[in-house]
Structure 1
Amino acid sequence: MCYDVKTSLEAQLKRAKKSQDLKAIEEIVEKLGSLTDLPLHHASGFSHPEVLVYTNEDPFYPIVATWGLIPHWVNNVEQQKKIWNSTLNARVETIFDIPAFRDAANEKRCIFYVDGFYEHHHFDNNTYPFFIQRKNNEPLALAALWSKWVHPEHGGIINSFSIVTTVGNGMMAKIHNNPKLKEPRMPLMLSEDMEEQWLSSHADFEKELTALLNTDNNLELQAHTVGKLRGKNYAGNIASISEEVVYTELKTEEFNF
């Protein structure tokens, strides 16, 4: 799954910079930057951080959204608080079937840019966190779904999103080996061509998704172990959290290609 990420304002400006509209970029930084929790050297989805996502409604100007999708049909705060811890991730295989994601899968897809993400590897009854990023250090574009929810008490609008996951392959199949899951998982990472497909507004996107999932994204990844992300030894949201920490009992060279 994908519950932990590293992201910065610089990474989240990647798509806006494609338009080469410097005035728009300045506006995003001035108007939206302060409304986010960036930079996030490490953030758990369960803390529901505020970040920027690019939606299919405006592919080059982001919105502020909280991690943990709140379906538009949620009708009270109690239900909202109950559901958003279970909607941090959405399995791509079932997004058109599960009520919480169905409408968003058809109508509201978005991209969440990160510097990298963290996953836990299980070995000898212990867990070891890894940081995964692109080999060229460019931001990763993660496929996501979003929703616009009207708060029933004050009428304010809350934008929220869920990261879409798929079956883990290659390096990720080795790292993400949670014994409680039937198979390894990883976020659905998009190449530049795949980004445009994901944000397309075609009516029958469900059919297009099959072709998209069969596309080679050509993204080269690298990974290294980091310090603990849970418990009393967790250092917190600090810049050094993504730096390598070596665990001698692990042969980490096996996880890179």
Structure 2
Amino acid sequence: MCYANALRKSETEILATKEYLRITSIAPDAKYHPTYHLNGFSHGNLYIIKMDDPEVVHPAAWGLVPHWASHNANEFWKKSNTLNARAESIFDKASFKDSAESKRCLILSNGFYEPHHVNKVSTPYFCYQPSKEYPEGDLFFFAGLYSELDNNKLSATIITTEANDFFAEVHNLKKRMPLVLDKNYHEDWFDDGLTNQDLNELMATGFTNNTFKAHPVSKDIYKKGIDTNKPYIIEPVEKDTLF
């Protein structure tokens, strides 16, 4: 599960990233602005790089809408949760199969939220990838799928996989994690010559080797009517319980 994302980088920082060297621009219609907390169920924009346009960052509504529902995304979202796609079944699920074969993407992030459970009580944890240059969280890329809607807009989903040891401790109930793709596999993810078996093997082994950290944050993100797209929402609330 990954139902909440953050992308706190400026446009200048995104274009300067060395993680994916071919980024040259952000699409003019993106209306890009940094975010501290994007709730997936709002179907706001993720920012993606498409396999057929790898130099440009595009906006994509969070929640992949398959081609047969592209004329009415809102009706599809009322009935279906496609914020995430399980790596183990993307070639079996009708909603994802076509995109898995020909519309793969990388999704920009520098932090996301996962629930941690103690005595049946859920606490949100902010997960990020610190670096020497950006100790508060460097840019990384989820493996994702996208689709094209009838209004010339895009939709997208984040691929998830079985949690590794670290994320099994953080997301300790469902034990899932978003597939943060190692930079050495970015080009491969966009290779239209790979078979389904090749892609399954890539997803099974392609999680980044870079270190993640996580800490508990405010439960405001679980509440309605509160603007949580603010810097405070990523701040730790219990400094003695960090992972």
- Asked if these proteins are the same fold (TM beyond 0.5), I'd say yes
Which has the higher mean CA deviation after the structures are superposed, 55-64 or 225-234?
A: 225-234
Report the CA distance shift for 1:102/1:17 in structure 2 as closer, same or farther (over 3 A). closer
Which has the higher mean CA deviation after the structures are superposed, 67-76 or 209-218?
A: 209-218
Code of the residue aligned with 2:22 in structure 1: it is S
Shift of 1:244: 0.8
Report the CA distance shift for 1:8/1:142 in structure 2 as closer, same or farther (over 3 A). same
**Alignment match of 1:80 (pick from 69, 76, 80):** 76
Shift of 1:81: 3.4
Report the CA distance shift for 1:7/1:107 in structure 2 as closer, same or farther (over 3 A). same
Q: Is contact 1:16-1:60 (8 Å) kept?
A: no
In the alignment, structure 1 residue 240 sits paired with structure 2 residue 243: no
- What SS does the aligned partner of 1:6 have? strand
Give the alignment of 1:7-46 within 5 angstroms. 7-10=7-10, 12-13=14-15, 14=17, 18-19=21-22, 24-25=24-25, 28=26, 31-34=28-31, 36=32, 38-46=33-41
Shift of 1:43: 1.0
Task: Note the alpha carbon deviations across 1:177-233, whole angstroms, 9 max, x for none.
Answer: 22xx4xx00000111112111121115243343145224631211111111111269
- Write the distance in 2 (CA, Å) between the matches of 1:202 and 1:62: 23
In the alignment, structure 1 residue 145 sits paired with structure 2 residue 141: no
Shift of 1:62: 1.9
Q: Unpaired segments of 5 or more residues in structure 1? A: 151-155
Shift of 1:171: 1.4
* Greater radius of gyration (CA): 1
Which has the higher mean CA deviation after the structures are superposed, 235-244 or 63-72?
A: 235-244
**Alignment match of 2:184 (pick from 166, 185, 193):** 193
- What SS does the aligned partner of 1:60 have? strand
User: Which residue number corresponds to residue 207 of structure 1?
Assistant: 198
- What SS does the aligned partner of 2:153 have? strand
In the alignment, structure 1 residue 252 sits paired with structure 2 residue 241: yes
Report the CA distance shift for 1:120/1:234 in structure 2 as closer, same or farther (over 3 A). farther
Code of the residue aligned with 2:40 in structure 1: it is G
- What SS does the aligned partner of 2:201 have? helix
Report the CA distance shift for 1:226/1:103 in structure 2 as closer, same or farther (over 3 A). same
Report the CA distance shift for 1:205/1:196 in structure 2 as closer, same or farther (over 3 A). farther
- Write the distance in 2 (CA, Å) between the matches of 1:66 and 1:104: 15
Which has the higher mean CA deviation after the structures are superposed, 222-231 or 69-78?
A: 69-78
Code of the residue aligned with 1:144 in structure 2: it is G
Q: Unpaired segments of 5 or more residues in structure 2? A: 132-136
User: Which residue number corresponds to residue 125 of structure 1?
Assistant: 120
- What SS does the aligned partner of 1:207 have? helix
User: Which residue number corresponds to residue 95 of structure 2?
Assistant: 100
**Alignment match of 2:168 (pick from 166, 169, 173):** 173
**Given the two structures, how large is their TM-score scaled by the length of structure 1?**
0.82
Shift of 1:82: 2.7
Measured on the aligned residues, the alpha-carbon RMSD in Å equals 2.4
User: Which residue number corresponds to residue 153 of structure 1?
Assistant: none
In the alignment, structure 1 residue 64 sits paired with structure 2 residue 59: yes
**Given the two structures, how large is their TM-score scaled by the length of structure 2?**
0.86
Shift of 1:15: 6.8
Aligned residues: 233
Q: Is contact 1:144-1:164 (8 Å) kept?
A: yes
- What SS does the aligned partner of 1:43 have? strand
Report the CA distance shift for 1:94/1:127 in structure 2 as closer, same or farther (over 3 A). same
Report the CA distance shift for 1:118/1:216 in structure 2 as closer, same or farther (over 3 A). closer
